[in-house]
Structure 1
């Protein structure tokens, strides 16, 4: 049986490798990806443009060549917060610990090929956290309101699922609280559902289908409907190359960005109870099609295009949590770790130890509650 440590390693390494593979072709369509690479991407590839330092819209980021993106930088930052707090997190922990981490702890930024503050790399939707909490002094539980609604919070919620391994409902609740400092509406909802999916994948007899079922139990509004629609479509396919157009068609009614990813529609990324982010439903659909195979799942995610680094981050994390680190091609993880100058396994070992400590605290808290409730309610 896989250990907590092995599943945690598989989850975070799987997420980082998916991120690095997807980062090289982020923002492009399936057709543009195939044209650039002479067919579907089959592994780690070079940047879309050779002159990536100046080519728009890539500049100045060195995407590709095994470099992770802000998805992994944010995930590892959240791991460091858990390492410091060593307990469940909430929106106040984002203000007290994640914001200082982003503003004051220089790390190696692979896309910059330099050491810098994470704040200097993360996207504007993530810079929002710092603007609202550090400069605006907004209540952390409400700071996400007003931000563009996107996958920014969901993309780094895997650590919440690991700390709540085997308890999707608790993972969902914690991620909803944490993400309140960053996102609102269906962006916040996706963060909760993704964390729940990770926690579900840690269950000993979990399968790709039980993970999706647990997501559907917890998901609300458009997020739930989008997952249903995409996964119903995914069940008709066993090959991701055939499925990609159908998956896009299934999620399109719920996606506000529109047909051109780099030219969002006027109604893009606004709060709604009817819509969903694109990335999570598609990641779950490709998880079903890949049926637990890392290569198939992640390559499908990468070649889907659009925000494919985040799609591959999520689907890669779920396969790794289901099947452990052995499921991830070693040549990919080695190359990503080397190219990105990151130890991909240490954050997982740290988080697994934190999860064990938090579980013991939860047991003690539960015992205290049982004793208090017994005294209140009496014997029946």
Structure 2
């Protein structure tokens, strides 16, 4: 369990840090900037959100779930919406907030800081008041999916437990069925990846189950907000079809990019990640490279892919030099975190 837990943490962190150098760029811009696919940590150029940071430093995609796991360990608590709120408030005071907070998370942190006297329903109303009426995806965004892997890790391979935890985490900031569906897809896949003799097929099937079940649970709640948007589950079905029928890997990735996309919408990033996992046959580093080169929300895609595939294979699938550079640049102490999580 330790090996898989550490693999998940390393994969999520390496994917985020490597994707920081290509975030918001198109696939063609990435190749023009670097001359080849990015397969190592790079210093981010001046026109991406991580500008000014060093090669190998993480962004919001990993730092938010990292803060969540620290909160759970420090408080010896379970995954609840309140725990997720407290972790998000602490993250809002960190170095990561100003350069990296997305539209949904930025507003959620502000509301959390203003919500001390609010009831849960009043707080939900402030979260879900359609602040971005012209762009609903500002609310149904991939931030919910990035911070879902802790739900899978703490589920001990119980998919329904992972889904329930993911709902709680998502409700702290992304309180709509689409966000919750995508988060539950990721959590369920990580939960499945903890099992000793699982397969890529099983990971994808777990993701489909999580997406469907997560949306069902969300729509039964009374403290939820409904936004228009495509089904995450049906988009995962599309990604599976593309990955199985499109041909060679490069063409599969181009078809995922062009037909599903890798933008901020959770119904883009999460399905594309599952397509990547199929195309790369679950290989952790190749899945991360694919996410980094996909363009647009590269930190999110590479981090989610790394979390699932890293858990699937365990920590030995990652080059030691990358792990050492990651620790030197961020002081994350992931080995200690994995050991503490394994002891819960």
Q: 1:6 aligns with which of 3, 9, 31?
A: 3
Alignment of 1:130-141 (within 5 A): 130-136=109-115, 137=118, 139=120
Equivalent residue, structure 2, for 1:283: 273
Distance 1:119 1:206, change over 3 A: same
The answer to whether the Cα contact below 8 Å between 1:21 and 1:64 also exists between their aligned partners in 2 is no
1:347 and 2:330 correspond:
no
Q: CA deviation at 1:200?
A: 1.0
Name the CA distance, whole Å, in 1 between partners of 2:339 and 2:205. 28
Q: CA deviation at 1:209?
A: 1.0
Q: 1:216 aligns with which of 185, 192, 208?
A: 208
The answer to whether the Cα contact below 8 Å between 1:230 and 1:281 also exists between their aligned partners in 2 is yes
TM-score of the superposed pair, with normalisation by structure 2: 0.83
Give aligned pairs, total. Answer: 313
1:297 and 2:287 correspond:
yes
Distance 1:211 1:101, change over 3 A: same
The answer to whether the Cα contact below 8 Å between 1:14 and 1:319 also exists between their aligned partners in 2 is yes
Distance 1:133 1:42, change over 3 A: closer
Distance 1:200 1:30, change over 3 A: same
TM-score of the superposed pair, with normalisation by structure 1: 0.76
The answer to whether the Cα contact below 8 Å between 2:185 and 2:209 also exists between their aligned partners in 1 is no
Please state whether the residue corresponding to 2:334 is helix, strand or coil.
Answer: coil
Cα deviation 1:185-224 (Å, max 9, x = unaligned):
3122211221111111111221111011112123237010
Equivalent residue, structure 1, for 2:165: 174
Name the CA distance, whole Å, in 1 between partners of 2:290 and 2:111. 36
Q: 1:92 aligns with which of 82, 90, 99?
A: 82
The answer to whether the Cα contact below 8 Å between 2:188 and 2:209 also exists between their aligned partners in 1 is no
Please state whether the residue corresponding to 1:282 is helix, strand or coil.
Answer: helix
Name the CA distance, whole Å, in 1 between partners of 2:119 and 2:302. 33
Please state whether the residue corresponding to 2:36 is helix, strand or coil.
Answer: coil
Name the CA distance, whole Å, in 2 between partners of 1:238 and 1:45. 30
Distance 1:13 1:349, change over 3 A: same
Q: CA deviation at 1:298?
A: 1.1
> Gapped runs of 5+ residues in structure 2?
130-137, 216-230
| Aligned CA-pair RMSD | 2.4
Distance 1:157 1:217, change over 3 A: closer
Distance 1:26 1:120, change over 3 A: closer
Name the CA distance, whole Å, in 1 between partners of 2:301 and 2:89. 27
Equivalent residue, structure 1, for 2:140: 149
Distance 1:14 1:35, change over 3 A: same
Q: CA deviation at 1:161?
A: 0.7
1:206 and 2:198 correspond:
yes
Equivalent residue, structure 2, for 1:366: none
Cα deviation 1:282-311 (Å, max 9, x = unaligned):
111111111122221111111111101110
Q: 1:38 aligns with which of 35, 39, 43?
A: 35
Please state whether the residue corresponding to 2:245 is helix, strand or coil.
Answer: coil
Q: CA deviation at 1:134?
A: 2.6
Name the CA distance, whole Å, in 1 between partners of 2:73 and 2:297. 29
Distance 1:318 1:239, change over 3 A: farther
Equivalent residue, structure 2, for 1:232: 241
Name the CA distance, whole Å, in 2 between partners of 1:156 and 1:180. 12
The answer to whether the Cα contact below 8 Å between 1:66 and 1:336 also exists between their aligned partners in 2 is yes
Q: 1:193 aligns with which of 185, 193, 210?
A: 185
Q: CA deviation at 1:145?
A: 2.5
Distance 1:312 1:57, change over 3 A: closer
Name the CA distance, whole Å, in 2 between partners of 1:69 and 1:218. 26
Cα deviation 1:84-124 (Å, max 9, x = unaligned):
343432212233x32442356x5xxxxxxxxx4x5445414
Q: 1:127 aligns with which of 83, 106, 109?
A: 106
Name the CA distance, whole Å, in 2 between partners of 1:193 and 1:138. 29
Q: 1:101 aligns with which of 90, 93, 97?
A: 90
